[in-house]
Chain A
């Protein structure tokens, strides 16, 4: 199988000053020598608690965070040293789905404009083809063509997340980074979105980097898992193996904490 993404020793340190005038600095290792790779067409889950560095990792892969050290090879390109046009064309291939469907859509644009924007930025297709493409994708995520005229506030959380997915996929990316895409949703809606993501993966041959803190979801979507804590990669491997035979103590604790597995009364 072909490796789509390969990273080597990613590191990022945030420095904080204590108080406004203080000269004392503390540094936080958000990423500490993280190396991993994702095969094409598979799903890699990143698990960790808040502050473990999983979102910094996602942001660094779309170059929203400048890394201190490390290298990323994406589809044969040295991602961290790309600039200008070549960066733009690679950006098209890596899209992101965000956690909060309420905050990630511009309230002043209607759905048509929201979905058209990425196509305009990347200067793809002519007007007719764009319209057709948008209609295709909005139907594919389970909404109607008549919804295109509506604004984000007219949709529920689950529908907004579908719009976010359609916007990400309309560029036909190779890698989709999903940053907690279902943690703000009800279980019933969560199941719909997870199924949609799975179906789309099959249809378009997508590769997912799936960030979540819910291990039950990992078991459902991921082929491989990496467990992070304090910016370090503590364990990585095939999902089934990690769940059945976790080696690291922290991974064991995480699995122990899954609600429904422990019985507090025993």
Chain B
């Protein structure tokens, strides 16, 4: 049975100063339960804004309209305290920069503990056990619980972020370019970890990236965004192997592959515009 955990209807984001400029322009999509949906696009395509709007963390200078249904509750209509209840508990997010998203003056143990304590009424001892459990889950030695973020490598810091996100067994994890700042071998480890956790905890994932290689590894469904609009969506195999939209085709032409010596073809924007107009 197909069930959508997240359904977005006609979401638009524009600046409050100028109503004419749409940063995200009337997009609709859904995330199926237990699946990974990837949003791919270049910088400025609106993919991060879409992610932020789901947990209502948009800058106050931006205005969003539309519906974001999470388990059939409209997030847009929730009060501040209601959405605060959802954040971390039902919907968790991890960010691109593991260096800047941790507090440098607190131990990682303290920070994970904080994430648990916000949403639960566990006793002190139970929370400590849960912290250890989480560290084990993401593959950090339990002895490191009193380490500070600067004593950890980039990959380990991202693991700490994942542990914090997992602390309340969220139903939906939003990952905004979680591996972009990491080395390739570490990236492969983190992708594997996220995929394992998704399966183990029966979580759904909304994964944002600009790297088609990463998409191929982790996605079930793909959404391609261009200038605030969704230009293509579908099953990962279909989008990567048989793209329909000229932009997706052009973008895939820019991706270097490691197998053969495919000729790189930079996007010809004049041609692309014409092709889009013909649609």
A interface residues with partner B (beta carbon < 8 Å):
49-50, 186-188, 190-192, 194-195, 213-217, 219-220, 243, 253-265
B214: Cβ under 8 A from any A Cβ: yes
Q: Is the CB of B266 within 8 A of A186?
A: no
Interface class of chain A by DSSP: helix
Say which one of B54-62, B80-88, B127-135, B248-256 lies at the interface with A: B248-256
Give CA–CA (A192, B251) in the complex, Å: 12
Size of the B side of the interface (Cβ < 8 Å), in residues, is 34
Bound state CA distance, A167 and B178, in angstroms?
34
Residue of B186, B256, B257, B267 contacting most chain A CB atoms (<10 Å): B256
* B residues near A259, Cβ cutoff 8 Å: 184, 187-188, 191, 211, 213-214, 216-217
Chain B 236-279, CB-CB to A under 8 Å as 1, else 0, gives 00000000000000110111111101001111000000000000
* Docked-complex contact B264 and A186, CB < 8 angstroms: no
B184 and A264 contact, CB distance less than 8 A: no
Q: Are A262 and B217 in contact (CB under 8 A)?
A: yes
**Cα distance A213–B213 in the bound complex, in angstroms:** 15
Contact with A along B128-169 (1 / 0, CB 8 A): 000000000000000000000000001000000000000000
Q: How far is the CA of A190 from the CA of B251 in the complex (A)?
A: 11
**Residue pair B184, A49 in contact (C-beta under 8 Å):** yes
CB distance from A127 to the nearest CB of B (A): 35
Q: How far is the CA of A216 from the CA of B254 in the complex (A)?
A: 12
Inter-chain contact A264/B210, CB cutoff 8 Å: no
> Is the beta-carbon distance between B184 and A254 smaller than 8 angstroms?
yes
Question: Chain B 176-219 against A: per-residue CB contact (8 Å), 1 yes, 0 no?
Answer: 00000001111110011001000000000000001111101110
**A264 / chain B contacts, CB cutoff of 8 Å:** 188, 191-192, 195, 217-218
Contact A195 B266 (CB under 8 A): yes
Shortest distance in angstroms between A50's beta carbon and chain B's nearest beta carbon?
6
Q: Measured between C-beta atoms, what is the minimum distance from A17 to chain B in Å?
A: 17
B71 within 8 A of A: no
Cβ-defined contact, A219 with B192, below 8 A: no
**A187–B257 touching, CB < 8 Å:** no
Minimum Cβ distance to chain B for residue A11 (Å): 24
> Pick the contact of B264 from A191, A243, A256 — CB < 8 Å?
A191
Indicate if the CB atoms of A260 and B216 lie closer than 8 Å.
yes
B65 interfacial contact with A, CB 8 Å: no
B42 at the interface (CB under 8 A from A): yes
Could you tell me the distance between the alpha carbons of A186 and B211 in the complex, rounded to whole angstroms? 9
Q: B43 contacts the other chain (Cβ, under 8 Å)?
A: yes
* Residues on B with beta carbons closer than 8 Å to the beta carbon of A261: 213, 258-259
Residues of A contacting B251 with CB < 8 Å? 187-188
B267 and A191 within 8 A (CB): yes
Q: With A220-B264, A259-B213 in contact, do A191 and B188 touch (Cβ < 8 Å)?
A: no
A187 contacts B254, CB within 8 Å?
Answer: yes
22 example contacts (A-B, Cβ-Cβ < 8 A) are as follows A186-B42, A187-B254, A188-B251, A191-B254, A191-B256, A195-B266, A213-B183, A213-B184, A214-B184, A216-B213, A216-B256, A256-B188, A257-B188, A258-B213, A259-B187, A259-B188, A259-B214, A260-B214, A264-B188, A264-B195, A264-B218, A265-B195
Q: Nearest CB to that of A48 among chain B residues?
A: B183
Complex Cα spacing A264 to B266, Å: 29
> Which of B184, B214, B216, B217 makes the CB contact (< 8 A) with A215?
B184
A194, B218: Cα distance in complex, Å: 27
Residues of chain B within 8 A of A194, CB atoms compared: 256, 264
The 10 tightest CB contacts between A and B, nearest first, are A259-B213, A260-B213, A191-B254, A257-B188, A216-B256, A49-B183, A192-B266, A260-B216, A257-B184, A191-B266
Of all chain A residues, the one with the shortest Cβ separation from B214 is: A259
User: Which residue on B lies nearest to A185, using beta carbons?
Assistant: B43
Min CB gap A140→B, angstroms: 16
Question: Would you give the shortest CB distance from B25 to chain A, in whole angstroms?
Answer: 20
The smallest beta-carbon distance between A14 and chain B, in angstroms, is: 18
A253→B185 contact, CB < 8 A: yes
